[in-house]
Copies of this chain bind each other. A is one copy, B any other.
Amino acid sequence: MPKTHELTPGAPIKMADLISDGAHFCDDREQAEKEFLALRERLVALEPKLYADASRSLLVIFQAMDAGGKDSATRKVFTGVNPQGVRVVSFKQPTEEELAHDFLWRIHKQTPRRGKIVVFNRSQYEDVLVVRVEKLAPKSVWQARFEQINQFEEMLTAAGTRILKFYLHISKDEQKERFQSRLDEPSKNWKFSPDDLAKRAQWDDYQDAYEDVLKRCTTPWAPWHVIPADRKWYRNLAVCRTIVDALETMDLRYPEPTWKPGEYKID
């Protein structure tokens, strides 16, 4: 079950065939919400073990079309986890200094130290998505990045970082509804920007770019997970389940003391 949404390296993939409606996988919302809360409790309990173990780290990457739920999935899944153990990094438009370096420079600075969880809200993948669609770099440059990203992720994995990549997949209709509610509800107005519509007009170009990302960067060490994200309750469940499953297979252990507890006396 946890592998339901994990892509297989080398397998063919078509964006048009991907399912965005979680109801296809689970028709009992109430049960799903209950299971999600139980999983989140397990996540809360696993974080201090990751910290105490101090030999591995976890990097969670969220990518999605606008309004796909990156912010909301981060909040829902990690709320309750000790904030000292989790850091969320939002990658925005690169600065002049970041652009003056290779595209992985700003990413590498933010990877988790041993014992910690880092969540990327957008990531190195923007450099083969927006950069490609907006033609911010020549094709020869962004084409080379798929392999550069794979090698980078393989090196991180070898150093003890478990990488979980989530593409939160929503339909074009669902995006419309979410944008519309940002227009209709005054308290959500600030989340909307007229620029969002220009990007929506490029929907197909972005989907093509995502297809390449999912195909070319699903590796044995860091496969993509395509999460049906039209229904938030299913999205949260699927993401949380994948994270908990990954942490539980890490076999995290509290370190043995290098000293004998009985030998110390506190005055």
Report which A residues bind B (CB closer than 8 A).
Answer: 52, 71, 74-75, 78-84, 86-88, 90, 119, 121, 176, 179-180, 183-184, 186-187, 189-190, 192, 194, 197, 200-201, 254-255, 257, 259, 261, 264, 266-267
Contact = CB atoms under 8 A, between A and B. Distances in A.
A183 B254 contact: no
Given A179-B266, A259-B194, A266-B200, A75 B83 contact: yes
Contacts of A197: 264, 266
Given A179-B266, A254-B190, A78 B83 contact: yes
Contact of A261 (B79, B87, B183, B264): B183
A244 to B, nearest CB: 16
A266 B176 contact: yes
Contact of A257 (B78, B190, B254): B190
Given A52-B190, A197-B266, A255-B190, A121 B179 contact: no
3 pairs of A and B residues whose beta carbons are closest in the complex? A84-B88, A189-B257, A78-B83
Prevailing SS type, chain A contact patch? mixed
A75 B71 contact: no
A71 B84 CA distance: 8
A176 B267 CA distance: 7
Contacts of A187: 254
Contacts of A254: 187, 189-190
A5 B78 CA distance: 32
Contacts of A179: 266
A249 B62 CA distance: 35
Nearest to A261: B183
Contacts of A52: 190
